[in-house]
Structure 1
Amino acid sequence: MLKQSLCAAISGIVLLVPSLHSLMQADQAPQTIQITAHRFAFAPNEVTLKVNQPAVLVFQSEDVTHGMHFDDLDINATIAKGTGATVKITPDKTGDFVGHCAVFCGVGHGEMAFTIHVVE
C-alpha cells in the first residue's frame, strides 16, 4: 500500500514538472512594445517593464531619422524611416529612466523624450 502511494506521488510530480516548466517559460517570454517616433514625440511616450524580464522595443519613424539614447539602460539606437530599430532589453534595476531622441530632427528635438518605468 505504501509502495503504491509512493509510486502515485512520484508519478504526479513527474507529470507536473513539464507543466510548471512551460508556465515559467511563458512568464519569461519577451514583452514586445511598438513605439512610433515622429516630430517631436514618441507614441506612446512611456512604457512599464518588469525588472529581470526580457522585453523588445520596436521603434518605427513616421517622418525622418530619429534616435533613442538611455545612459542608465545602455540603449543607443538609430530609428531610420522605413527600417526602424529593434532594441532587446532585460532591465536589472527598478526606477524611472528617461531617454531622448539622439538624432537632431528639428526645432522640437530637445523635447522629444521617452520614459521607461521598471517595476518589480
Structure 2
Amino acid sequence: MESKRQQKFAGVIQEDLAAIFQREGMSFLPNTLVTITKVRVTPDLALARVFLSFFNSPNPQLAVQTIKTHSSEIRYKLGARIKDQVRVIPQLEFFLDDTNEYVERMDKIFERISHEDRQKDEE
C-alpha cells in the first residue's frame, strides 16, 4: 500500500514526464504518442517505475527499449523540472503497460462466449 507521500510524488513525476514526452518525445519516437499510464514510487522515493502505453507504434516492445536507452537523458530533464521539490531525483524504470491489450483480449473472449450462447439458443 502506497503512502500519501508516495502517491503525491508519483503524481508529480507522472505530470512532468508527460510534459517531457509531449514536448520532446518526438525526438525519441517519431510519429508515436507516449502515454504515462501509471507511476509507482518506492517508499524511499529513490526509484520510480513508469508504465507506458503507445499509440501509433507498430512495435511497443521496441518503443520501450528506445525509451530505456534514453532514460538518463529523460531523468536529467525530469531533474531540471523537479529539482526544487525533491532532494534526490529518482532512478527511472520503464515498463510496457499492456492493460489495453488485456482488455481487448478479454472483450474478444466475452464476445465469443456471447456468440456461442446465441447460437445455442437458436438451435
* TM-score between the two structures when normalised by the length of structure 2: 0.26
Give the helix-richer structure, 1 or 2. Answer: 2
Larger Rg: 1
Give the strand-richer structure, 1 or 2. Answer: 1
* TM-score between the two structures when normalised by the length of structure 1: 0.26
